[in-house]
Structure 1
C-alpha cells in the first residue's frame, strides 16, 4: 500500500493543513444536569483561589475559596461517589468538562497524584482515614506524593526491597524510594513496602500512609539535565 515514508509525509502534511474537531454535539441530552453544573461554575467565577499551585505542570493544585465551592458541590472529582463526588456518569463527566471549558476563568481542580490515592483510601481505608484525609485532598490543602519506585524496582515494582517490620505501636520502615514527584513539598505519602520477605515477590507487600514529617525521613532532590528538580529520592531510616 505504499512506503512508510510516503504515508508519514502525507500524515505530516495533513497535520499542517487540516484541523479535525473532537467536539461532541450532545444537543439537549441531560439538559437539567448541564444547567445545574453551569449555575455552580458561574457562582465559582465570582470567587478566586488565594493559593496558587507551586507546580507549574499542575495549575489545578491551586486552592482557596473557588476550589472550596467546587469541592462542596462534588466537582473536584465528580466521578467519585457522594459525598466526595457526585457519582457522575461518563456522559455527565463530558458535560462537566465542556462547561469548565466554557469558563477558562474557573480553574479546574486537580488532585495530582492523589487522583490514585484517594480512591484507594475510600475503597479500602477505615472510616477514620476517610474522614481524616478525603476533604483536605479534595480542597487541596494537603499535598501527597507516591512512594512506589526504587532504584532496583521501577517498572518491576514487585522487586521492591523497602521493608516494614511490625513493632509495638505500628511498623518500623527502612528503605529507599526514587523518582518521587513533590516529595519535598508533600505533607503525606502513599508507600508500598514489603511486610513479608518470605512471600513470593508479588505478595507480602502492604500499602502505607506516611506522614512526611516523620523522624527518619530524608528527601534529596534529583537535579535533571534541564536544571529542574522535579523528582526526589526519599530515604527511610527507622521510620
Structure 2
C-alpha cells in the first residue's frame, strides 16, 4: 500500500502525542513519588484547608532555648533536616535575637525582656513572596492557600530564591545531607546535593488533618489557622493582641505574626 506524505505526517503526529503523554505521566509519577507535599497531589479525606494559612507565635510563652528545642526537634525530625557540624547550616526552624529578627523595629525604650529574648524563625510564607518572582524554573511557587512551596525536582541550585528572600529562610545543600541524618523519617523524602529547602507549613500533615509539627509540639504557644476567615481563632487572636511581623515595610506581607 502506497503511503502518502500526508499519511506519514498524521502517523508521526499521533506517535509524538503518545510519547509526550507517556513522558508527562512519567514526570508526574516521578514528582508524585517524591512526596505528598506537591500541590497537584490529592490530599487525604480529613485534610485541613484555608483561604490563606497563617501563624501566630506568642513570644511571651517562650523563656529560653529549652522551650524552643522540642519544636525545632519535631520539625527537623519530621522533615529529615540534617545536622552537619561545622559544615553547613540547614534549617527549617531556628532562633535568633530581637535585633536580628526585627531589624526594622528598633525602639529606644524596649523592655529588657524583648531586648534579650530569642525568637523562633521560619519561612514567612509571604503573600507577595519575592523568592517566587526570582526563581527561573518555577521550582518555588505559592499555592492558592498561601503556602510557598519548593519543588526539589525543578530546583537547579541557582540560589536566586535565597538572594531574593529577605528573611534568610532557605538553606542550600552544598553536599549530600543524607549521611547526617541521625534517624530518617521514611514518610518524608530526603533531599540531595545542590537543591534549596525550607519550611512548608507541613503541607503533608495538613493533608492528613494534622497541625504543623511545631504547632503540635508548642502546646498552645503557637496558633495556626486561616487568615482569610474573619471568624477563625487566629483572626480573633490578632484582633486582641499587638503583634509584629518581620520586615513588613518590604511589601512582602508575611503570614507569620509575633505577639510581643
Normalised by the length of structure 2, the TM-score is 0.23
Q: Which fold has the larger relative contact order, with Cα–Cα distance below 8 Å and residues 6 or more apart in sequence?
A: 2
Which structure's residues are more often strand, by fraction?
A: 1
